[in-house]
Structure 1
Amino acid sequence: MPGATRAGLRACRQIVWRMGGMMQGLGRKADRRLLRMSELAALTEVPPASIKFYIKEGLLPAPVKTSRNMAYYDETFVEKIRLIKKLQSEHFLPLRVIKEIFLRTNGEATLDQAHALLALRGLATHARAEGREPLAESDVIRRLNTYEAELKDLRRMGLLNPREIDGRWMYDAIDQELLEALQNNRRLGFTREIGFQAKDLEIYAAVLEVLANEEVKLLISRTASKLSDEEIRALAEKGLHDFAPMLMIIRKKMILRVVSNLQAGTGNGTQPEGGLEGTRRKPGPTGGS
């Protein structure tokens, strides 16, 4: 992997870490009452063994330990455990799905937010079946100017998600679209011959995964308890298809800004002093860019 890509991935990981810390900080409240395990079990009507299992599986955060055998749980544990019980008993959700709900809401899920997230479950199935039959890997290689090692790289990055059917990798509509876009980039001149490889997309995968997570959180926070399941799903489908032009314009503006700042800062297009942070344009007199 080129050094620039490694540096970019490190920057992405720092962004993820900072965003996670910021979101966790927003969720903290001072002066919460701390509970012993016996009190927590009594309030939630869940046995201590189950609570400890939820913690072990990552559905609940670790308690505050004051000694080897003494731990305290703040009051937020009560609502989280009650929500877990409700999702299990009323919606018949397995713990792995409940854990995903908590992950997508920074551990601060409400019942309304859980419902909103569950409304999105059909999106992946819909995307897989958008007017195309799945293609076997041999057909993908033949039709889309790719090869096995490249497909393996894209699978490793999570950019391709084929299903194994009867011992063969089958690529659905959205995977085929990605490979066609990669082929189009090569027609534009971003070819293997001058060094462009599919693995260069790793930086895009890292950045866009952060963006996707934040988009889902934003959608849930804005629509929970306000729209029906059908309305939430319809809005999400529109976002999947119709947000692309706006994202491309923002990307174009950011690239032009980086290039402009590089030229203004050094006169020769090299990275300005201060690294990636130095490419950020300072606000003008009115606070704009």
Structure 2
Amino acid sequence: MKISELVKRTGVPKETIHFYIREGLLRKPRKSGVNTADYTETHVERLRLIKDLRDNHYLPIPEIKKILKALKKQSPGDQAVSRFKSRYLRPMDQLVEAEVPGREAFCRTTGLGPKWLERMEAWGVINARQEDGQPVYSQDDVIIGRLLVDIDRLGFGPKDGYDPRDLQQISDFIKDYVRSGQNKYLSTTLKKIAAGDYRESKIQIREVMSLFFYHMYRKRVREQYEEILEAMKDEDRAGA
């Protein structure tokens, strides 16, 4: 594609694209003429990632270079996962600590209080593995911990009438669903593919299904919100 189409699809100005190429953030395009070049979908994906890191996370160019350098070292399967995430979500997990050792460090990193961490661990919402006598929390647990703090901040905490045990029910439902789905998949597929292929397939389907749950939840909440608004409008019209 020409640079004009690349600009249109990414919202990144032509001058900025040339700057990113000079800085090594973007691979040079293939020359198709004296003053023309061909850009690919790889350029689109990379520019969208850079734009997100700049616009939404305010990262300077040196930090973005570090992230892009780390992406180059990923396996083809991991790169495919990163493409899924950059296509649908902001790449927040690239900016969050991969693991956090120790309960105090976890609470400090996430803002979640020790009491609530203990409760979430008891409910199975957060699970740490033991290593050298101390709990080590995964990146997913770190993100969940931060989300729990935001949930409370946004008015969905116990003091607002929200029953936090609903989170346990959601966690248990997903756990049962995943276990059932994995058992079905393994019973029908495992004998047909090599171990390496299974790993790559598992990683990618994990990310795709995560995105499916994410967007399905957003969709159902939006529909419910619209129904409530419509009911309120009907009441207003009836009372007028």
TM-score between both structures, scaled by the size of structure 1: 0.39
Higher helix share: 2
* TM-score (normalizing by structure 2): 0.46
Ranked by relative contact order (alpha carbons within 8 Å, sequence separation 6 or more), the top structure is 1
